[in-house]
Structure 1
Amino acid sequence: MASKSYFQFILFLLSLSNFSLKCCSLRNVDKETDFNKWVSWNIQNHQKKALWQAESVSQQVPGAGGRVLDGKLWKAETNKVRITVCQNGTGDFKTIREAIKSIPPYNTRRVILEIKPGVYREKVSIPKTLPFVTFLGNSSDPPTITGNDTASVPGSDGKPLKTFQSATVAVDADYFVAINMKFQNTAPHVVGSMGEQAVALRISGTKAAFYNCSFYGAQDTLYDHKGLHYFNNCFIQGSVDFIFGYGRSLYENCYLNSTAKKKASLTAQKRSSSSIDSGFSFKNNVVTGSGLVYLGRAWGDYSRVVFSFTFMDKIVLPQGWSDWGDQKRDTRVFYGEYKCSGPGANLTGRVPWARILTDEEAKPFIGT
């Protein structure tokens, strides 16, 4: 029995033959022009096929009026529910933890927790079984969720929490959104001390977004653990590796503030293989503060971080990047800069393995 590829080949030969006969039968017609038309037809056909393949990735959802990129998300957003959290008892719940417990497991609706202004001293965890949760604060007076756990603090089992469990707010669920919120870990960092990693927020779910949020901490403020994440108009403050993790994230129009007492790093991205599609991209940001920092240091052998259109204050060290004392990483990491400005963007003293990106090289990193 002939294979599908064999028939495709025969059809291809027939099309060539048909084209040749057509060319021979046409008098006073430029053969080169006719050939170009044929090539153009094939290119257009290929483009249509590619477009069809791209559209097939999206989903046809009844009532959506066409295809949507994520059917689950579309359905959740069309069936929202709102819960109010207020410490004075005028809302549905007094604490954020109580409100989260009220959400049924494997929830399929967008649940908006409207959190009234105030300081919420509670450790908050959103399990993987609770997707589509939104924390919504007041833009003029954002609520603060605060804690002070560190990696060395004993947990309920008597063992140290470690960095992962030190987070004031831990999100393991997908489709999380936070708007007008402050996330804080008040534990200080003493230079030379061990076990002082103190996470303000850990995001481990995918397809998460943060708008107009602030993250305050010292060592390891924002644990951008894993998944697709978007940060817009956010303030992120810390001293050592204060944005770190395996995530694939875009930070846009954010303000990155260093409080390092000695030389430290702004980012520690842990991409451990060249085949892993992760990294941090910073677009239209401001890097400033009071402590000297590298833009990033290689937590993973294939760490990937790019800064574009970013203002860098004089706190950025001339070298720009650190291989964390492992020179074999110099040929593996992807540390790029594109059209940045400010005294810290001076490329004169940059490490030789930093990449000054061309327009084409920058394209994958400057859009969602």
Structure 2
Amino acid sequence: MIYISQDGTGDFRTITEALASLPKDSSAQQTFYIRKGIYRERVSVTVPYVAFIGEDAENTVISGSLHASMKMEDGSKRGTFRTYTCLVDTHDFTAKNITFENCAGKGTDAGQALALYADGDRLLFENCRFLGGQDTLFTGPLPPKEVEPGGFTGPKQFAPRINGRHFYKGCYLEGDIDFIFGSATAYFENCTFFSKYTGREISSYVTAASTPKDQEYGYVMKDCRFESNCPPENAYLGRPWREYAKTVLINCYMGSHICKEGWHDWGKESAHTSAFYGEYKSFGPGAAMEKRPDWVRRLTESDLPLYEKEAVLGGTDNWRP
């Protein structure tokens, strides 16, 4: 166990110093116990088998404030993928009782601002909080191609696109525009998704999956809650960042802030047949399935085995987070 404490009573004062002390080729589990504090540092995890264990989820915070419209030294804009507070670029990473925060401001003002850029396989987040505005959590990898030149400028721009599996258990995630987005296979269990009001006609899109065409799973959200400080019908459950987006909701509560259609096609009519949006036993004021468009799937009990955690995350190595 490696102890990190800002008051000097641990092995290191910063997370960055502790990570720098690890051997690059180690296959041994390394556990960081991070004491309460606001760690205003930009953290990059590139060594596998690392675990962050926070003393307290609300008071153990990794915080940053970079946002997409900021200028770089060469005069160019920082762009989306260089705004992260924390980058996880490895496999077999665990975080428990940690807050990942980007406090740049709401998306309508600051633009994209990642709290966490998570790109790897067998990533586990339990009792964590993800706080931000637009693009709070990026579940990598990037899609194969960018729409606009330079749109993917950042740490994984030219890296191979490898599907990773992520598990989020008992987490709290907040933001406004597309605040959970990306191409990973990600399973969310007993999580809360909080849409923040921006003052606009539509304040929030919770998800913006970019699931690759031949990937079996995108996002699965089971026993979760969609909550908000938005007025009625001011947010959508999701929209397709890429046309083969997949998002499935099972036994989820939806507040009145969710628009009656539930899902938005982002002006991509082809997504009506290529994307997969499905719900099973949604409940709450925003969950009236009879008001959903016909391209949203009404799942039945017979579909549920396909979306069990073991089926979604098991893979060829039988991962059991």
Q: TM-score range by the shorter chain?
A: 0.7 to 0.9
Q: What SS class does the counterpart of residue 295 from structure 1 fall into?
A: strand
Q: TM-score, normalised by structure 2?
A: 0.84
Of structures 1 and 2, the one scoring higher in RCO (CA 8 A, sep 6+) is: 2
| Residues 244 and 274, structure 2, Cα contact 8 Å, conserved in 1 | yes
Q: What SS class does the counterpart of residue 286 from structure 2 fall into?
A: helix
**1:253 corresponds to which of 190, 202, 209:** 190
C-alpha distance in 1, partners of 2:168/2:98?
Answer: 12
Mean CA deviation greater in 254-263 or 172-181:
254-263
Mean CA deviation greater in 217-226 or 175-184:
217-226
Q: 1:140 to 1:225 in 2, by over 3 A?
A: closer
Show the counterpart of 1:107: 26
Q: What SS class does the counterpart of residue 100 from structure 1 fall into?
A: helix
| Residues 57 and 127, structure 2, Cα contact 8 Å, conserved in 1 | no
Show the counterpart of 2:215: 276
**1:95 corresponds to which of 14, 32, 37:** 14
Show the counterpart of 2:66: 149
Q: 1:155 to 1:175 in 2, by over 3 A?
A: farther
| Residues 240 and 260, structure 1, Cα contact 8 Å, conserved in 2 | no
| Residues 308 and 366, structure 1, Cα contact 8 Å, conserved in 2 | no
Taking only the aligned residue pairs, the percentage that are identical comes to: 36
**Consecutive unaligned residues in structure 2, runs of 5 or more:** 142-163, 311-321
Show the counterpart of 1:350: 292
- Write the letter of the residue equivalent to 2:86: V
Show the counterpart of 1:265: 205
C-alpha distance in 1, partners of 2:302/2:57?
Answer: 40
**1:311 corresponds to which of 253, 263, 272:** 253
| Residues 199 and 222, structure 1, Cα contact 8 Å, conserved in 2 | yes
Q: What SS class does the counterpart of residue 124 from structure 2 fall into?
A: strand
Give matches, 1:3-42, under 5 Å.
Answer: none
**2:242 corresponds to which of 285, 291, 300:** 300
Show the counterpart of 1:41: none
Show the counterpart of 1:241: 178
| Residue deviations 1:32-84 (CA, integer Å, cap 9, x gap) | xxxxxxxxxxxxxxxxxxxxxxxxxxxxxxxxxxxxxxxxxxxxxxxxxx111
**Consecutive unaligned residues in structure 1, runs of 5 or more:** 1-81
Q: 1:125 to 1:157 in 2, by over 3 A?
A: farther
C-alpha distance in 1, partners of 2:227/2:59?
Answer: 23
C-alpha distance in 2, partners of 1:254/1:367?
Answer: 14
Q: 1:149 to 1:304 in 2, by over 3 A?
A: same
Give the superposition deviation at 1:140.
6.8
The number of residues matched between the two structures is: 282
Give matches, 1:54-93, under 5 Å.
Answer: 82-93=1-12
Per residue, is there more helix in 1 or in 2? 1
Mean CA deviation greater in 158-167 or 173-182:
158-167
Give matches, 1:193-212, under 5 Å.
Answer: 196-212=111-127
Show the counterpart of 1:290: 229
- Write the letter of the residue equivalent to 1:101: A
Q: TM-score, normalised by structure 1?
A: 0.74
| Residues 265 and 295, structure 1, Cα contact 8 Å, conserved in 2 | yes
C-alpha distance in 2, partners of 1:170/1:342?
Answer: 35
- Write the letter of the residue equivalent to 2:24: P
1:165 equivalenced with 2:82 (yes/no):
yes
| Residues 318 and 348, structure 1, Cα contact 8 Å, conserved in 2 | no
| Residue deviations 1:220-275 (CA, integer Å, cap 9, x gap) | 011111310000000000011011000101000001100032313100000241x1
Q: What SS class does the counterpart of residue 327 from structure 1 fall into?
A: coil
Show the counterpart of 2:134: 219
Q: What SS class does the counterpart of residue 360 from structure 1 fall into?
A: helix
Show the counterpart of 2:159: none
Give the superposition deviation at 1:142.
3.8
Show the counterpart of 1:124: 43
C-alpha distance in 2, partners of 1:366/1:160?
Answer: 42
Q: 1:224 to 1:91 in 2, by over 3 A?
A: same
Give the superposition deviation at 1:138.
1.3
Q: 1:149 to 1:287 in 2, by over 3 A?
A: same
Give the superposition deviation at 1:157.
5.3
C-alpha distance in 2, partners of 1:140/1:283?
Answer: 22
- Write the letter of the residue equivalent to 2:211: R
| Residue deviations 1:154-181 (CA, integer Å, cap 9, x gap) | 3465533321121100100110100000
